[in-house]
Structure 1
Amino acid sequence: MHVVVPFAADRPKTRLADTLDTDERREFADAMLRDVLAALDAVPRSLEVTVLSTGPVDGVDAAIEIDERPLTPAVNDRLGTAPTAVVMADLALATPDALTELFAAEADLAIAAGLGGGTNAFLARDSAFRVDYHGASYRDHLAIAREEGLSVREVDSRLLAVDIDEPADLAELLLHGDGAARDWLVDAGFELSVGGGRVEVVRE
């Protein structure tokens, strides 16, 4: 099975710009990518993993393909051969078990939503499926599958639903993560603060 991991090397994690500077965002994105690749490497089945990056990537043990186009055409050009899975590079809570559940789902399209309505991961077993990443892409992808007459399995996984995009998402990673990305946050001085019934992330 081919697994594509899209990675924005040129403008990583722009929505964290108020929390991390440019170099920090790149380091943090690299750490999350390593976590996703480690989870994929531990899946108990044969996977051919390719990082689909907008620029060079160092220090990862996976094939790298450079494609500077927007996400939709870049991914669609790699869906011609089934089965192909796409797993986003910022799923720092993803585990081998969660990914195995996705890959084992018996449907033409197995798909996991993000908390904000995006599409965090999917496995397409039919080359008729195509992507359209914008806005609430999860609903769009379900509609595309219906138009093509594809069977769909919606995989409800909290570990695949949390993508680290916003400052508030860092709390989820500090609470539940155990990989390189969480270690990077701790080393950078981030910690949880509990007060007034709320959990917030602060930096020392």
Structure 2
Amino acid sequence: MRILVPFEATDPKTRLDGVLDADEREDVARAMLRDVLDACLDAGHDPEVIATAPVEVADAPVTVDDRPLSAAVNARLGGAEPLGVVVADLALATPRAVDRLVDVAADADVAIAPGRGGGTNGLVIDHPDFRVDFHGVSYRDHVAAAREVGADIAVVDSMRLSTDVDEPTDLVEVLLHGEGEAAAWLGARFELDAGEGRVGLDRVG
């Protein structure tokens, strides 16, 4: 299956600014992108990066599209084949998790993998009239949009697909559960600090 992987290539992950500087945020964003692409490729799918600026990746085509995310994705919908969308900051993504999303879509017009906090981290779309809207509480909005066009919906409950990395606390999840390049990158720079009822990050050295 063709899977779009949208990527913010200009000043990514600004909400991590309190923990990572600009260069580090770019490094970890690209590491997560490679993890997502590897998960899609290892599951036997065909990922395509939709980036806001040029970015070099191996084994996947890159199209530069500086439109807002929803417009960039909607411009590619409406074809005869199902189309997947997986966001680029799923550092916990695995081939098995991607396969779950695709497998569930076999019995639905729209399969949705919600993110924590109400976002949407993955979609498989097989309905000519469905369009995405990634703003705000997009999971709720996508469910409503699917119902509006009469599309059958399937929801994928997956820890690995629901954990996108936006806030510093999300980095803890990557260190705890990650298996890819982003986890290795973080592990070389941070260690977990468990104390006072919470787990945080300490700089190595």
SS in 1 for 2:168: coil
Superposed, 1:37-186 pairs within 5 Å as: 37-43=37-43, 45=44, 47-81=45-79, 82-105=81-104, 106-186=107-187
Residue 2 (structure 1) shift: 1.4
CA distance in 2, matches of 1:136, 1:151: 20
CA distance in 2, matches of 1:39, 1:114: 18
SS in 2 for 1:39: helix
The AA in structure 2 aligned to 1:39 is A
In structure 1, runs of 5+ residues without a counterpart are none
CA distance in 2, matches of 1:115, 1:53: 23
CA distance in 2, matches of 1:48, 1:97: 15
> Which whole-Å deviations, capped at 9, do the CAs of 1:108-162 have from their partners, x for residues lacking one?
0010000111000010011211011111100000000000000000111111000
Residue 203 (structure 1) shift: 1.5
Mapped pair 1:5 → 2:43: no
Q: Could you tell me the TM-score, scaled by structure 1's length?
A: 0.96
CA distance in 2, matches of 1:174, 1:123: 28
> Which whole-Å deviations, capped at 9, do the CAs of 1:60-117 have from their partners, x for residues lacking one?
3200000011111011101121300000000010111111111011100010000111
* Structure 2 contact 84–122 (Cα < 8 Å) conserved: yes
Moved over 6 A (4+): none
Q: Could you tell me the TM-score, scaled by structure 2's length?
A: 0.95
- Identity over the aligned pairs, expressed in percent? 53
The AA in structure 1 aligned to 2:85 is V
In structure 2, runs of 5+ residues without a counterpart are none
* Structure 2 contact 108–153 (Cα < 8 Å) conserved: yes
Mapped pair 1:29 → 2:19: no
SS in 2 for 1:120: strand
CA distance in 1, matches of 2:184, 2:159: 21
Q: Give the equivalent residue in structure 2 for 1:194.
A: 194
* Higher alpha-carbon deviation: 79-88 or 112-121: 79-88
The AA in structure 2 aligned to 1:60 is A
* Structure 2 contact 40–46 (Cα < 8 Å) conserved: no
CA distance in 1, matches of 2:118, 2:203: 29
The AA in structure 2 aligned to 1:148 is V
The AA in structure 2 aligned to 1:181 is A
